[in-house]
Amino acid sequence: MVNPKSIEEKKIWDILETVTDPEVPVLTITDLGIVRDVIIDDDNIEIIITPTYTGCPAMDMITMQIRLAMLENGYSNVKITSVLSPAWTTDWMSEEGKRKLKEYGIAPPDKKISIPKDGVTCPQCNSTNTKLISEFGSTACKALYQCNDCKEPFDYFKCH
């Protein structure tokens, strides 16, 4: 997360931290690194966000949820701007976010290769004796794996 420059900005970041990803509800949008900046100009607030994947259908919903969360906290002059560059990367995911993902049963991105053939740590039993089932999973950001030890299939959040 970007270091807030003022108390007012900190308040807004705290609000944004309550907005979760509709597809992976344990992650907040700040955990994911989707919020890139908050710009305050008197009463006008601009929130800069970036999509994870170009076709991610959650982005429209996330935009709406940001607007609602801001309204609930009394902010009505909010502009939400989506930027593409620099392109989102899983390097921006917080450590807290990775921990929450694993607890939720999704292996967090931890390799430098985007989709390893094997060796991803099983979020259930921690074995690294795992194999890739499919490079494409239930959402654009995940690939499907199976643990050879506990036999559980699991999602892996691709290193992107």
Partner 1 sequence: MKSNLIDYTLHLADTALILSQRNSEWCGHGPILEQDIAITNISLDLLGQARNFYQYAATLTGGEATEDSLAYLRTEREFKNLLLVEQENGDWGQTILRQYLFSQFQYLMFEKLQQCSDEQLAAIASKSIKETAYHLRWSSEWVCRLGDGTKESHERMLLAIEELWRYTGEMFESAVYETIINVASLKEDWMQRVSAVFSEATLPVPENVFMQTGGKKGIHTELLGFMLTELQYVQRTYPGAEW
Distance in Å, CB of 135 to partner 1, minimum: 6
Distance in Å, CB of 87 to partner 1, minimum: 4
Q: In the complex with partner 1, which residue's Cβ is closer, 4 or 153?
A: 153
Q: In the complex with partner 1, which residue's Cβ is closer, 10 or 113?
A: 113
Q: For every residue of 99-145, which 3-state class applies, written as one string?
A: HHHHHHCEECCCCCCCCCCECCCCCCCCCCCEEEEECCCCCCCEEEE
Q: In the complex with partner 1, which residue's Cβ is closer, 6 or 134?
A: 134
**Tokens 């290193």 belong to which residue?**
159
Q: In the complex with partner 1, which residue's Cβ is closer, 20 or 82?
A: 82
3-state secondary structure of 6: coil
Among candidate residues 139, 129, 61, the one with its CA nearest the CA of residue 106? 139
Please tell me the distance from the alpha carbon of residue 156 to that of residue 50, in angstroms, as a whole number.
21
Q: In the complex with partner 1, which residue's Cβ is closer, 76 or 85?
A: 85
Distance in Å, CB of 84 to partner 1, minimum: 4
Distance in Å, CB of 75 to partner 1, minimum: 26
- DSSP single-letter state for residue 55: T
> 7-16 and 58-72 helices cross at what angle (nearest 10)?
130
Distance in Å, CB of 134 to partner 1, minimum: 4
What is the binding site for partner 1 (CB under 8 A)?
51, 53-57, 83-88, 114-115, 133-138, 140, 144, 160
Give the DSSP letter string of 76-100: --EEEEE--SSPP-GGGS-HHHHHH
